[in-house]
A and B are shown apart, each in its own frame.
Chain A
């Protein structure tokens, strides 16, 4: 069980306010989607939740303790943030990158648990063939899977994946979301993305952001309606529900 409380978070880069007074309580495990148009504040919100960025105002509590009050090494054992914007020029191999996820836990050498976790993510994302390859030798889809695997290998209760499924093809988007839903048992995984239909179908809850404001938080199967999504992207959309499946119709 995890409890995440975002309390009155605002953030500005200079004069540019990118998040405005976000209040959000997310309890329990599961897969959470963060949707919103470009510049909605998705990345900023995720970095604030991860403690990578200190909000101008407000605070983030994970299991009751402020993320900015923790020491960096304690924080690294509680929450993980990854994005696809990584450097590929230094000949880092996949296995070395995956092992970085264990750095907050490693004392001198890999423990039995470290091996267990690494083996688990390698199996989960089918990475056996890639272990000795350089990150620069992977296709963008393979690289996204490796980065997600690296995030899971950190073994934290809260995992934030920024924009990572956007670089996958439809098949991999669906397979990855399914896998993430499976992995989200016992932890909270948040994905920010522009990939709409697969995300709405697989996440447990969705956070809608626009222009730095929280538009809605809820279950996409019940709480999200036509006008929420239409106003989010500025095009007229209709949400079609068939059983538990969600489809979108472009009305315009």
Chain B
């Protein structure tokens, strides 16, 4: 690679690879979306698109289910998956810790506590924006508590996670206590283990807003955030302020994660595993390529999880958290072992 052209060639090859990968993911997303619309416990129409093309009429019951339930729910799945995965990616970036996940560092649990208190005070899922607001405040409190513990214990990567787990258990218990004294068990279960049953256009509009804000922020600040993964001195030497960057990033990440909790309860694993998978697929940690890939993989994973959750044992729904864990952790473990054998990861 002695000439100017060959570095360009190398970068061009890499860019082409990123584009092909994202196109494949997009095709996978659309395929998943199709099945997510076609399949369900109440009504199976695996080949409905053929009927539409042939001009045959669809069953009116199916159309109603499609427009009032499956389409908003599939969109919710895409938005929740992308939001949680992106929030995880940002938290990992600002803590320089590949194990960070909103579910593990007190963010989701703080949001849950906020929502629980709001429910206790008489708010319902119809008060979407108020719920999102208290969830956001709660998530900031949870994250601040985790950071405080992590700081006292020396800021290394495991102290963040262990402190975060401690805070999460504490806040979840308090939330459970509040919820269980005011609601039927089923609703409590949904909040604690996640479900997209409540999906609606109103919730989707809210999540589109927060996801767009989070994505735009990450793309606008990708240079500073990339440098943040190296060191604070690196950030300063390049002319950015690491503390301001960390603060604003945590606001955007907490916002994205807490809105999903307000709408659909706790959904773990996505924020931890998806950025890992995206890094392994891309073979790199540059945020400008990680942001779109992480969102795509997150959306696909959550849509598949939701599909399994509502079609595996009809008419019952399996809690989403169970599926995300079952689907995701083996992938994560497999990729980690494979990566570690090749020396790809840094553990």
Q: Does A16 contact B (CB under 8 A)?
A: no
What mask results when residues 48 to 83 of chain A are scored 1 for a CB within 8 Å of chain B, else 0? 001110000000000000000001111111001111
Q: Does A119 contact B (CB under 8 A)?
A: yes
What mask results when residues 279 to 308 of chain B are scored 1 for a CB within 8 Å of chain A, else 0? 100011110000000000000000000000
Q: For the complex, give the distance between the alpha carbons of A76 and B325 in Å.
A: 44
Most buried by A among B238, B240, B241: B238
**Inter-subunit contact B226/A96 (CB<8 Å):** yes
Interface residue SS majority, chain B: loop
Shortest distance between the CB of B122 and any CB in chain A (Å): 44
Residue tally, chain B, CB below 8 Å to A: 39
Q: For the complex, give the distance between the alpha carbons of A178 and B331 in Å.
A: 48
In this complex, what residue of B is CB-closest to A43?
B233
**Inter-subunit contact B98/A89 (CB<8 Å):** yes
A-B contact pairs, 30 of them (CB 8 A): A47-B233, A50-B236, A50-B237, A72-B240, A74-B239, A83-B231, A85-B233, A86-B231, A87-B231, A89-B347, A90-B93, A91-B284, A91-B345, A91-B346, A93-B285, A93-B286, A100-B226, A100-B230, A100-B238, A104-B238, A115-B8, A119-B4, A119-B7, A122-B7, A123-B2, A128-B1, A131-B10, A132-B283, A137-B343, A154-B238
Interface set of B (CB-CB < 8 Å, partner A):
1-4, 7-8, 10-11, 14, 92-93, 96-98, 157, 223, 226-227, 229-231, 233-234, 236-241, 279, 283-286, 343-347
Closest 10 CB pairs of A and B: A76-B239, A136-B346, A91-B285, A72-B239, A90-B229, A73-B239, A103-B223, A128-B1, A87-B96, A96-B286
Other contacts beyond A90-B96, A91-B284: 18, CB < 8 A: A47-B233, A71-B239, A73-B239, A76-B237, A81-B233, A82-B233, A88-B346, A89-B96, A91-B344, A92-B230, A95-B11, A96-B284, A100-B223, A115-B7, A115-B8, A119-B4, A128-B1, A136-B345
